[in-house]
Amino acid sequence: MANIFSEYRIKNLVLKNRIVMPPMCMYIAPENGMVTDWHVIHYATRAVGGVGLIIVEATAVAPEGRLSSNDLGIWDDAHVDGLASIVKAVHENGAKIGIQINHGGRKCEAKGMDIEAPSAIPYDEKSKTPREMAKADIAETVNEFKNAAIRADRAGFDMIQIHAAHGYLLSEFLSPLTNHRQDEYGGSYENRVRFLGEVLDTVRSVWPAEKPIEVRVSAEDYGEGGNQPEDLAAMLNLVKDKGIDSVNVSTGGVIPVVPKAFPGYQVPHAEVIKRLTGLPVVAGGLLSDPAEVNAIIEQGKADQVYLGRELLRNPYWALHASRALGVDLEWPAPYKRADVRR
């Protein structure tokens, strides 16, 4: 029976366990989107702490695709060396690493940017109204994702995650609450998922075949008439053959509604996506208890589990969880004097 410390393979990527650090924006990059020493230390620390797979925060494919003026960027070749330094530090400390590539759409709050979205609908009453994207804008953005994937491979990342969740651009196209288009990019499942399909096609064309592609989705919009897990599964089924190897299942962010959250609240959404698509899934949601996390894998509810806030609080969660679960995990040599089983 698999558990969170079981090896996991996705395409040619072999992970030492099923524990994932999900992408979490740090909002600490300079306005040019460059990696800082802080980013390197931040990610390398979680590798030292025993995480199997680390995914770098939302990294913008274009300046107007940033969520803030302090997001990491991958829109320029100058970004590659800094991102490669993160990869090197994580690999040297025993973990594998992916990167989330993203366009913020109408939720871009970077200074001086012309924001765009599938439809001219602001996020809330305090937000700017975005410009509705023309088909030429969509084609340009698809090419930006392609170039981002080329740079991610040059930086040495083991996998790539396409951000189609949390109300950012790709997510906005998927949701009927934010996509009111009357052309081939709006309306039906086939039309609303078309943009994601085009991004998948172009990323797959340049991303090495042996490296996995993951898509992150919001499986519930938490609004009347919005997407439910079954809707996301139906759309994913239309494009999964374009190269989706795994689905990271989150929820919300499409409209300004705060869901009722509790440990594991997004796991049932992941179960639906897994059952209806047959794709491997990564589940999570305010998880911290090792036994609860382990049960998700043992019961087959997900293939991997992500821990966000808990890994911010405790970079060494995996080491402590191994002892709580009675797993004989080797601690890093410099830290062995702190091992509670010594």
Range of the domain at 301: 8-338
Residues 6+ apart with CB under 8 A from 160: 98, 99, 101, 149, 152, 203, 207, 211, 212, 213, 214
| pLDDT per position as a tens digit, 269-315 | 999 999 999 999 999 999 999 999 999 999 999 999 999 999 999 99
- Please count the structural domains in the chain: 1
| pLDDT per position as a tens digit, 78-126 | 999 999 999 999 999 999 999 999 999 999 999 999 999 999 999 999 9
The CA distance from 285 to 49, in Å, is 20
Residue 184 lies in a domain: yes
Q: DSSP assignment, residue 65?
A: G
Residue 237 lies in a domain: yes
Residue 3 lies in a domain: no
| pLDDT per position as a tens digit, 209-240 | 999 999 999 999 999 999 999 999 999 999 99
Residue 73 lies in a domain: yes
Give percent of the chain above pLDDT 70. 99
Residue 36 lies in a domain: yes
Residue 2 lies in a domain: no
Instruction: Look up the CATH number of the domain holding residue 25.
Output: 3.20.20.70
Residue 1 lies in a domain: no
The CA distance from 312 to 187, in Å, is 39
Residue 44 lies in a domain: yes
